[in-house]
Structure formats: C-alpha cells, structure tokens
Copies of this chain bind each other. A is one copy, B any other.
C-alpha cells in the first residue's frame, strides 16, 4: 500500500453528446426498467456545441456517494440514479493506476464511494434533453473509472435505466434504440446505424424558443399518453415499425427527401398523440407552428425538401438542413422572421458554429434588418415578424459519441480532495 493510501483520489473525466430523435420514443411498457413501446432512431449532436462533461472520482476518504450538477449538489437517492450505480458497480473489475500507484481490486468497489460532478454547456431550461447527455455521461465515465468490460451497447442498456433517450447518446452519428422483447430489458439497447462521418453534409439549426410555461415532464406525459390515448397503441404497433425500416434505409442511402418526410411526419405524430392524451399535452406553441410553416412553405416551393424539422417535449425546433447551402438559406429565413431583440448582440443570438453567419452574408444587426422576404412569399402584404420569440439559435451538426478527456484542467473535481473545483 502506498503512503497516505486512504486519501488517494482516482478520477476520470468524460464528455458525452446529446441526441435528437427523428423517430420518436414516447411511451413505456415498463416504468422501472424504462422499456419503450416502440423502437426509436436519433441523430447525435456535435459535443463541441452541446455536451455534458462529467468527472467521476473514487477515494477511500469519501464517506458517501455525492453528485453535483452544474455546480449544485443534488440527491442520488432516486431510482434512476440508484439503478445506474448498481448496474455499473456490479460490473466493475480490477483497476490499476500505475502512475499514481493506486490499485483497486474488483471486490473493493462495493465498499468505495463516488463523487460525481456534471456540467451541461447548455441551459437545462432550454429543453435540450440534458438528462440524455447527463445519464449517458455518468454511465460512460463510471464504466471507464471502474474498468467495466462491456461493449457500448451493453453500457447503453445501463444508461437506458437512468433515462430512456440516454442510451442513444452512447454512440455518435445515427443511432437506433431497439425496444427489445425480454421482460428484464437486457435486449433493449442502442446500436449505431452509421457514424457521424457517414452523412456529413447535414447541418442542424436549433431554435431555442422563448417559453414561460412549465412543461409536462416527459416521464409524466408519456405515462398519461400510454394510459389515455387511443391512437398511441396504433402508432406503436402499426406505424412506427414501418417508419423505422424506412428511416434506416433513408440514412443508409443518404436519401434526404425520405429522411425529411419521415422526420417531420414522426415529429407531428408524436405531438398528435400528446394532443390525444387526457388531459391533452401541448409542447409546441405558436412560435413552433410558425417555424413549421416557414419550413413547409419553403420546402414546397423548392419541390424537394431542403430542411427537416423535429420537436421534442418542448417548443424548441430542431431543423436539419440538407447541406450547408440549405442551412444558410434557412438561417436567412429564420433571422428574417425572428430578428433578435434590439438589446441582443448577434454574437449571442447565433451560437455554436457561427461561421454560417458569414455564408449568409450577415455580420451585424443591420444585415439582419436588411434581409429581404423569402421569394416563396407571394402575397404583397408586408410580412409579419416575431422579434424576441426565439431566444437564440444554435448551429451544429451530427457528432461523435462519448470520449474520455485526458486534459486534467477539464476535470470538474479537485484531484486532491475530490470536491468541485
């Protein structure tokens, strides 16, 4: 044993992306194991723009498991956290950190406690699926820390028990969550359909829509839909399976027209079954509807779809453009209809990959004000604008899966005492 052994701290830092479903998960057949009523398919977003960073640390000096999320300590007593911790711990194996002279045999893990610090680089209130990225990162980083020898799909089955959509964040690119058949959920896991380089023309613009209302949580909402919507069963049984096959084909063939038609239809149908719930759930608001109208009008005027849209359990629009040119034209339209509030700097209004502003010929607010109406608007009535209805935009792209961060300065916990920096 090395001197001062009781005080050693071993830690690992990882970064995990978030993802957006294009064929939606909505409805569980098992609440505790988080088993869904249908398959789902997602696109992983570039963690350069949206990600969760998690540092996990273990030390004999820790007296209990603790977690900090975005700097604030939170409870780990909930079922979802306990499930993930238990599943990962039971798969821990021997760990040796030669550099620091730390050895943890497999049997020691059950007695050791963990400190976990997690940070999202996007606001939780923005409705951007922070729990997916968060649980995926927790599971991935713990698996690295504890030298868990499971493949990524098996890890996804563990992440799934923290948050359903988290399982899809264990891979980059295009991911499918197979619903599975087993009662114990061992076959309900994520697989990669194609990596992030497969279709790298695609560009993604997210419109973070201003929304004051507190939304129905996904967990509550989908439970109510399962219990009260007469349309959901039909969707899950008859409609989604066919769409999953068609979407896999579309992704494989980089067939944007099919991809867009399926993504938009499935987003709308998800919101349709939410409306068919008792009490009805409205995630999209008037701004969401206007964005859909803008996309639909443009797509129809071009003859072939330029952009796909999809909405999760909130009013934010995720717009997937066919290529950079389409994304640029899309951004011009969005900025035309949703100019920033007078007090907002353009630099704070378009986040992520800001280089797209240059492509769009927009350097400052004056350029936004000078944007012409889109050609597909035929009536001569001056078009109404909706200043301030969008909080900001994020430009991103399909991205890679979870990675370890070896740069110690990125760790969120102090290597000396395992407490938040």
Contact = CB atoms under 8 A, between A and B. Distances in A.
Interface of A: 212, 230-231, 234-235, 238-239, 261, 264-265, 268-269, 271-273, 275-280, 282, 285-286, 289, 292, 296, 300, 384
A288 B278 CA distance: 16
Contact of A231 (B231, B289, B300, B384): B231
A241 to B, nearest CB: 12
A276 B280 contact: no
A285 B282 CA distance: 10
A292 B280 CA distance: 8
Nearest to A287: B286
Given A231-B231, A234-B234, A285-B286, 15 more contacts: A212-B384, A230-B239, A230-B269, A231-B239, A231-B269, A231-B272, A234-B238, A264-B278, A268-B276, A268-B280, A269-B275, A271-B275, A272-B273, A280-B292, A286-B286
Contacts of A292: 279-280, 282
B278 A275 contact: no
28 contacts: A230-B238, A230-B239, A231-B231, A231-B235, A231-B239, A231-B269, A234-B234, A234-B238, A261-B278, A264-B278, A265-B276, A265-B278, A268-B275, A268-B276, A268-B277, A268-B278, A268-B280, A269-B275, A271-B275, A272-B273, A272-B275, A272-B276, A275-B275, A279-B296, A279-B300, A280-B292, A282-B289, A285-B289
Closest 3 CB pairs of A and B: A272-B272, A272-B275, A272-B276
A277 B273 CA distance: 13
Contacts of A239: 230-231
A152 to B, nearest CB: 33
Contacts of A276: 265, 268-269, 272
Contacts of A269: 230-231, 275-276
Contacts of A280: 264, 268, 292, 296
Nearest to A230: B239
